[in-house]
Amino acid sequence: MSKKKLSRIQLDQMKAERKTAVWITAYDYWTASFAEEAGMDMILVGDSLGMCIYGYSGTVPVTMDQCIYHCEGVRRGAPNTFIIGDMPFLSYQVSVEEAVRNAGRFHKEAAVDAIKLEGGKRVCPQIKAIADGGMLVMGHIGLTPQSSGQQGGFKAQGRNADAAKELIEDAQAIEEAGAFALLVEAVPPEVCGIIRDTLKIPVYSIGAGVEADGQLMICSDVLGIFQAFTPKFVKKYENLGAKTVDAFKNYVADARNKEFPADEHTYKMIDGEMEKLQNLLKQ
């Protein structure tokens, strides 16, 4: 029996029943297909693709076209999974009108189920307008990579009372603006727990502890592919980076030692055809 895609109503029910929603980022057809087969509840096509796929130092250079392109591949790989498109830097900050138009592109061109954008009170007009346009919007507070420069780098947020209170107020404003869910990144579990209990909408964690309605991880971290740095909140479930290098090394060695391709890896001429070819060449 094929997996059935979750709806917003079912995600709300999971929160009410304290069932943990589990999701992951994916940027291509194959990863998305594996995630769907594994039973992921949702997939985020995150702007983290800038670092994980393109090798940028951060998420700021990522464009709308890149995000749409990768969302298309992920949708093909996971047709029965709830997919969220991540709005890149300057796709929603310039104006409310532009935010709605770009959110619409994700739906029209890549068939996503929702979009996500970063920020608190300052992006509430965009959240409201996109939601009023009939689209599902997920908020994102705490460590927000697109504005990490303002935050002093990739650092945990909400670690003192004043900062935590501001995050809670941002979360409330995002819910009031019409967001269907909220992602909280790199925030103490106690603060995330307060946000979860304060809001009626689902509150998800990436590096914000178990006090949330669900957990998100970046696929490249889970698989041990991303090598540049490892955030404190990451658990590597496999080390495919090292295994990939080993596989490539073995291939290089076999090819140079003439051990690959072996006889079983080659095609054979039909019996008698080699003799015919030699005769043809003599003519």
Condensed to tens digits (0 to 9), the pLDDT of residues 79-118 reads 999 999 999 999 999 999 999 999 999 999 999 999 999 9
Residues 113, 216 share a domain: yes
One domain, residues 230 and 251: no
| 24 contacts 219 by C-beta, under 8 angstroms | yes
The active-site residue, picked from 36, 118, 175, 185, is 185
Residue 24 lies in a domain: yes
Which range of residues forms the domain containing residue 34? 8-238
Residue 160 located in a structural domain: yes
Residue 68 and residue 109 share a domain: yes
Please state whether the peptide bond connecting residue 261 to the residue before it is cis, i.e. omega within 30 degrees of 0. Answer: yes
Residue 2, domain member (yes or no): no
User: Is 100 in contact with 133 (CB distance < 8 Å)?
Assistant: yes
Q: Same structural domain for residues 186 and 267?
A: no
154 with 260, same domain: the answer is no
Q: Is 37 a catalytic residue?
A: no
The answer on 232 and 109 residing in a single domain is yes
155 with 212, same domain? yes
Prediction pTM value = 0.93
Residue 283 pLDDT: 87
Strand, helix or coil at 282? helix
Kindly report, residue by residue over 229-276, the tens digit of the pLDDT: 788 889 999 999 999 999 999 999 999 999 999 999 999 999 999 999
Give the count of domains, the chain.
2
Q: How far apart, in Å, do the first and last CA atoms of the chain sit?
A: 62
Q: Across the chain, where does the E strand assignment appear? A: 21-25, 42-45, 82-86, 114-116, 137-142, 181-185, 203-206, 214-217
